Amino acid sequence: MMFAHGFGCDQTKWRLVAPAFEADYRIVMFDYVGCGKSDWSAFDVQRYGSLHGYAQDVLDILNAFDLRDVVFVGHSVSAMIGMLASIEEPQRFSRLIHIGPSPCYVNDAGYIGGFERSDIEGLLDLMEKNYVGWAAFLAPVVMKNPGRAELTEELQSSFCATDPRVTRQFARVTFFSDNRADLAKLTVPSHILQCSDDAIAPQSVGLYLQSAMPMTTFRQMSATGHCPHMSHPAETIALMKECLQQAS
């Protein structure tokens, strides 16, 4: 079972959920390049210019350990990343569990993603502000002390902070991606867990996905917000187990 974190943090987000599956599955967790404790120097602006670059991270890990029959659990943007990876190499996946997914965050004709482009630009500005201290004072310290793990640790204690330029690009790629056309290509069975009152992936998006994705089941969670695996781990675990039982 592979857990993939969403935009804004790293694999530590899964710590309330992943242990519940340790007895039955081999658990694989990772940080995307540019997030958490990944090798920041591996960040390549070209490769990570679209979600396909992140999907390649997933496939690289699956290939490196030659993993098959993988249950891929993707939160937020990782749902689409997992979907892209499964379209690329379907034989590696047994099913996908999407938590709070959205194929397109920006509104379009006849489609409500929840945001306007200007909202996303506003987010990028806001992130820049929240990272201004990082960029001005901390980045040079870290860059000059590559061996000093505790410095990196200290930085991560703020927002699992990564390099703000990298985070900015991840934000851009996440929120400006439109994967609606890819949904129909999915050949691996999937399950959607949709939160109530999710400000990032509204109800309309869940309904859209339900109708556009082949071989999927849809579950409305009583959990509110965008991070049920952190705010409501018990319900998240229970629903995931139900999905898996249903599958077998």
Partner 1 sequence: MKDLDPLLDSAPCGFLVVGHDGLIRLANATAAEMLGVAQAASLVGRHVDVLLSIPSRIFYQTHVFPTLCLQGRVHEVYVALIGSGGEEVPVLLNAKRRTEGERDVSDWILVPMRQRNELENEILKAREISEASSRAKDQFLALVSHELRSPLSVILNWATLLSRVEPDASTLKRGLEAIERNARAQSRLVDDILDEVRTQTGKLRLELAALDARPILTAVLESVAPAARAKAIDLEGDLPAEKLFVRADPNRLYQVFWNIVQNAVKFTPPGGRVRAAMRTSDAWVEAVISDTGRGISPEFLPHVFERFRQEQASPDRAEGGLGLGMAISRNLVELHGGSVSASSSGLGLGSTFIVRLPALQQPREADVETG
Among positions 146, 197, 210, 246, the unique one binding partner 1 when judged by CB under 8 A? 197
Residue 29 touching partner 1 (CB under 8 A): no
Owner of token pair 């869940």: 206
How far CA 208 is from CA of 43, 125, 217, 225, in Å, comes to 33, 29, 13, 19
Whether the CA torsion 158, 120, 173, 42 is positive or negative: it is: negative
Given the residues 76, 78, 86, 102, the one annotated as active site: 76
Residue 199 touching partner 1 (CB under 8 A): yes
Q: How far is the CB of 42 from partner 1 (least distance, A)?
A: 23
Owner of token pair 């859209």: 208
Residue 8 touching partner 1 (CB under 8 A): yes
Rounded to the nearest 10 degrees, the angle between the axes of helix 164-176 and helix 51-64 is 100
Q: What angle do CA 74, 221, 71 make, to 5 degrees?
A: 30
Q: How many residues are present in the chain?
A: 248
Nearer to partner 1, 122 or 214 (CB): 122
86 is catalytic: no
Selected range binding partner 1 among 9-17, 37-45, 79-87, 238-246, rule: CB under 8 A: 9-17
Give the SS3 label for residue 130.
helix
Q: Find out whether 58 and 89 touch, Cβ atoms under 8 Å.
A: no
Owner of token pair 């996440």: 174
Q: How far is the CB of 49 from partner 1 (least distance, A)?
A: 20
Q: How far is the CB of 170 from partner 1 (least distance, A)?
A: 10
Q: Which residues are annotated as catalytic? A: 76, 198, 226
Which parts of this chain interact with partner 1 (CB under 8 A)? Answer: 6-9, 12-13, 15, 76, 115, 119-120, 122-123, 125-130, 132-133, 157-160, 175, 197-200, 224-227, 230-231
